[in-house]
Structure 1
Amino acid sequence: MDFTQISLALCLALLIASVECKQVLVDLSHSLNADNHRWPTNDKFELIVVANGTLDNGKWYASNNVRFSEHTGTHLDAPAHFASFDGVYSAATIPVERNLKTKCISHCRLVGPLSVINLKEKSDADRDYRVTADDIISYEKEFGKIPEGGIVIFDFGWSQYWNDFEGAFGSQSNDTTTFHFPGLGMDAAELLVDRGVYGVGIDTPSVDYGPSQDFPVHYYLHGRNIYHLENVGSMSALPKGGEGVTLVVGAMKIDGALGDQSVLLPCLMKKNRLYPRQLSQDTEYLC
């Protein structure tokens, strides 16, 4: 069983045990391969064939080894990536326990109500756009206040640049001072902390915008034990704003890891027992 199968099994088990899921809509993660663009300091993904053929006994056997950086593809940045304090979460220690008596997983930081904030128009006008607190407040006026324990993902339409280094980074060079892509501003990060979110995601290479050299958003959010999801895949199949969707973040449990490849499963709910935002009666389920 490979990593994806393990992650899917874990995610679906959590969902079945804890919520009524109408439909898993789409996997929001990108496939890993040697063509993936990556941060310049990261190793290139490599799949090494160990065996692939018929054995002497006439039976088929195939196996591979893989080599890649922990911050490759659609991945989770654990808070310990940019923070060091007692109780800071590594990729393996982000809580996943739930209350067995109530079947509530509101304390599970890898499962939560999803908010998708679409800012494609802003990034089309300014490749170095930084999300503001006003952007979040505008979203809340339409969809309601972001719930405590939620996961917020910013959609700039950047999945169109997957496996396109120049498109994703806005540069042909590995020199990070030449990068141009959107990210979060500090006032937006501060408001998300005030809302009590558990995770912040983005479809660009980093939650800090391209020109950043000191990564203030990384330090600020990680310093408050909030994880990041970077290089998130296309969100076009989701309901507007992520309304009525619970996100399950599947990740490998590697002791000491500061990042982790992630399978992101958004589940459209029949009824969400865990969180206050409910689907309206006239919501049309995607089929």
Structure 2
Amino acid sequence: MSTAAGTAVDQLLTQLAEGRLRIVDLTTRLSADTPTLRLPEPYANLVDFSLEEVSAFDDAGPLWRHHNIHTGEHIGTHLDAPRHWISNRDGADTAAVPVARLIGPAHVLDVSARVTEDPDFLLQVEDIRAWEGEHGPLRPGGWLLVRSGWDRYGHDREAFLNTTDGVSHTPGISAEAARWLAEESPIAGYGVETVGIDAGNGFALDPPMPAHHHLLGADKYGVTSLQNLALLPPTGALVVVCPLPIVGGTGSPARVLAVVPSTVES
């Protein structure tokens, strides 16, 4: 390791130890009660998360406790890999996502006030451009994280999915904004507080589910069901997305962490 690189790592560790930097967990706790996507018939749904006890300090394991886990790939806070969507059906699986693209600067765009007024709110290109006008351009390899305030429903399945007459009313992104992020912005990924990277009624847009279509089609990534984006500044935070490297996987539950200056108000 070069002296400069070593010094940079030492500075990071020192600032964490001294409390000048702190780590914010952006992950929804994963359990059988975690709200998950529900597709209407005739589409098939993933299994919810569950634990199966194998041993618990008993004859099956006198000195240990352990479980099998049962879960779909796209459950709780999770990464969407490019091959998840038909627009990139032969794209990178979860194990092939370059780790360098799973860590980068966080750009936090707050639309929570507008979502309070309209749960079907769709992010537009002009919203992103306005954010850039105030905070500077989206940085290469960064993640655009949209704070909608929806994380407040993260432990209430009915409120989180907000379904009326078979239609889920949750915020998302317009088709044009999704295309712009995919084709014209330098970001590596896009993160949201809702159950998926598209609006609850995203199938009604053209193309259907445009965040999936455009971003995954362009070899960019999505991360969903984030918490605590309110604790991050618009710029100046570092985000780390840690999915399991599942060979052949289209996604994975992930731990998502942010490193922020301790001067940021919580």
TM range (shorter): 0.7 to 0.9
Alpha-carbon distance in 2 for matches of 1:249, 1:17: 19
Secondary structure in 2 matching 1:248: strand
In structure 1, the residue matched to 2:46 is: 42
Higher helix fraction (1 or 2): 2
In structure 2, the residue matched to 1:69 is: 72
Aligned residues: 242
**4+ runs deviating over 6 angstroms:** none
Alpha-carbon distance in 1 for matches of 2:10, 2:185: 23
Which of 212, 224, 227 is matched with 1:230 structurally?
224
Shift of residue 47 of structure 1?
0.5
Decide whether the 8 Å contact of 1:26 with 1:265 is kept in 2.
yes
Alpha-carbon distance in 1 for matches of 2:60, 2:36: 40
Shift of residue 52 of structure 1?
1.1
Decide whether the 8 Å contact of 1:165 with 1:172 is kept in 2.
no
Alpha-carbon distance in 1 for matches of 2:148, 2:95: 29
Decide whether the 8 Å contact of 2:88 with 2:216 is kept in 1.
no
Decide whether the 8 Å contact of 2:147 with 2:230 is kept in 1.
no
Secondary structure in 1 matching 2:223: strand
Alpha-carbon distance in 2 for matches of 1:73, 1:171: 18
Alpha-carbon distance in 2 for matches of 1:207, 1:31: 18
Secondary structure in 2 matching 1:20: helix
Alpha-carbon distance in 1 for matches of 2:119, 2:214: 23
Matched, 1:180 2:169: yes
Decide whether the 8 Å contact of 1:130 with 1:209 is kept in 2.
yes
Decide whether the 8 Å contact of 1:128 with 1:183 is kept in 2.
yes
Which of 105, 117, 120 is matched with 1:125 structurally?
117
Decide whether the 8 Å contact of 1:166 with 1:172 is kept in 2.
no
In structure 2, the residue matched to 1:139 is: 131
Alpha-carbon distance in 2 for matches of 1:140, 1:121: 19
- Percent pairwise identity: 28
Secondary structure in 2 matching 1:92: helix
Secondary structure in 1 matching 2:214: helix
Shift of residue 205 of structure 1?
1.2
Q: Which runs of 5+ in 2 are unaligned?
A: 1-7, 16-20, 39-44
Alpha-carbon distance in 2 for matches of 1:157, 1:247: 19
Matched, 1:247 2:239: yes
Shift of residue 18 of structure 1?
9.7
Alpha-carbon distance in 2 for matches of 1:211, 1:86: 23
Counterpart code for 2:210 = P
Alpha-carbon distance in 1 for matches of 2:94, 2:115: 30
Counterpart code for 2:34 = N
